[in-house]
A = this chain, B = another copy of it.
């Protein structure tokens, strides 16, 4: 199970074509065919159907493992490279859409004082991409957000890839965002279970994703009636205000034109967490120190 073979298998499965994968990876179609054949021979199972090219049952299982495996492989490589390489004067930061950036911004200002010619890059991206960025070394630092029980760290899919420091940056209450006239708007607080069958807007990049609620509440409810793919908080506010459905947001992100009802019963918080991989960059480590004060 050479990583090389794994990589081409993933590419073929993603592209749905041997030739497309070959082009993508800089091989000939023949080489890819041979690699897949080698992998299937090694594992003793067909991994792909041909015409159309699609993963078999076994192939699907392998795909579930291949991603994390390749990511971790990349993570080791960056880790060791960083250990040896000259410290760079760059700090590439990845942010998930709802990450609380106040303390980060303040700390960055102080970091500027220490390292005037540091090039700081900020980029907003989904959680999975942020973790992948850490692994490949494209990012030096990420700020992730999600929901968690009071003192617990975030529960990330495919986590503990990159051992490193985890620093809690912010914890704030979760609010149910409602249009002003809504029947629930008068409530002092609301429990999550009673909201399972409400009319929900799934806005994975502008509010707490419904999938995260399902995971936290151990249920398969919270089904979306409307999905908003964008990141614009105003657009989401408008949708909620117009009565298209509800969403759950960290307090800070609830527009004043809406009513926010605290979520009570399962004690859950919106948590923002900084992750600095091992060993990190000098600027990253310094930033963590500044944030720890």
A interface residues, Cβ below 8 angstroms from B = 1-3, 43-45, 57-58, 61-62, 64-65, 68-69, 72-73, 75-77, 79-81, 83-84, 149, 151-152, 157-160, 163, 218, 278-279
Report the bound CA distance from A76 to B65 in whole Å: 7
Contact assessment for A84 and B1 in the assembled complex, using a CB-CB cutoff below 8 Å: no
> Given A61-B278, A69-B72, A160-B158, A80–B43 Cβ distance below 8 Å?
yes
Is the pair A75, B65 in contact by a Cβ cutoff of 8 Å?
yes
Q: A202 CA to B131 CA in the complex, in Å?
A: 36
* 8 tightest Cβ-Cβ pairs between the two chains A and B: A65-B76, A45-B84, A58-B80, A43-B80, A45-B80, A58-B83, A61-B79, A1-B73
| Closest chain B residue to A279, Cβ basis | B61
| A162, chain B: closest CB distance, angstroms | 9
A-B CB contact pairs (8 Å), 12 listed: A1-B76, A2-B2, A3-B3, A45-B81, A58-B84, A61-B83, A62-B76, A65-B72, A65-B76, A65-B79, A69-B69, A151-B218
Q: Is the CB of A81 within 8 A of B44?
A: yes
Compute how far the CA of A195 lies from the CA of B76 in the bound complex, rounded to whole angstroms: 39
A2 to B84, CA, bound (A): 21
Chain B residues lying within 8 Å of A45, measured Cβ to Cβ, are: 80-81, 83-84
Residues of B within 8 Å of A218, CB to CB, are 151
Q: Pick the most buried of A43, A65, A163: most chain B CB atoms within 10 A of its CB.
A: A65
Q: Which of B2, B43, B163 contacts A3 (CB 8 A)?
A: B2
Give the distance to chain B from A65, nearest Cβ to Cβ, in Å. 4
Expressed in whole angstroms, the minimum distance between the Cβ of A157 and any Cβ of chain B is 8
**Chain B residues, CB < 8 A from A69:** 69, 72-73, 76
Name the B residues within 8 Å of A160 (CB-CB). 157-160
Residues of chain B lying within 8 A (CB to CB) of residue A158: 160
Please, which residue of chain B has its CB at the minimum distance from the CB of A149? B149
Bound CA span A264–B265, Å: 19
Closest B residue, CB atoms, query A85 = B44
Q: In the complex the two chains form, what is the Cα distance from A75 to B1 in whole Å?
A: 12
- The distance in angstroms between the C-alpha atoms of A84 and B61, with both chains bound, is 12
